[in-house]
Amino acid sequence: MININFRAPTPIWEQVRDNYRALILSGALPEGYKMPSVRELASTLAINPNTIQRAYRELEAEGYTVSVPGKGSFVCAAKEAAAMRRQELEQNFKALAAELKALGDDEAKLITLIKEAAANDD
């Protein structure tokens, strides 16, 4: 379910977070799904529990999960999480576009970059 690449430059906690984020957004993990405990997942993946704790903390901060004391972490509604993520990405996009514009790129260049990025997605 979770794939970790120990040779990747991306920190392990980010890989765990990104894997769970993708599973939640795709609907593979339904609303209310009980996430594995920190110790259980750390043991399964053979990594430090603090790494898992950080990934879980980030997922909760982003609105993908909710933590219930004494019961564990549970998946929130995917639509709400997707809307929050979309808003965050749009804000990041606007900031990047503004920075590129400040560096001298015009609207045509920004549109070209967007089209290139969209073409690379296929």
Q: Is the dihedral of CA 80, 84, 85, 89 positive or negative?
A: positive
Domain ranges of the chain: 12-76, 80-121
Quick one: CA torsion of 5, 50, 75, 40, rounded to 10 degrees?
Answer: 80
pTM: 0.69
Rounded Cα distance, 63 and 61, in Å: 5
Query: What fold does the segment set 12-76 form as a domain?
Result: Arc Repressor Mutant, subunit A (1.10.10)
| pLDDT by residue, tens only, the chain of 122 residues | 788 999 999 999 999 999 999 999 888 999 899 999 999 999 999 999 999 999 999 999 888 898 889 999 999 876 776 777 788 888 889 999 999 999 999 999 999 988 988 888 65
Helix intervals (H) in the chain: 12-26, 38-45, 49-61, 78-102, 107-121
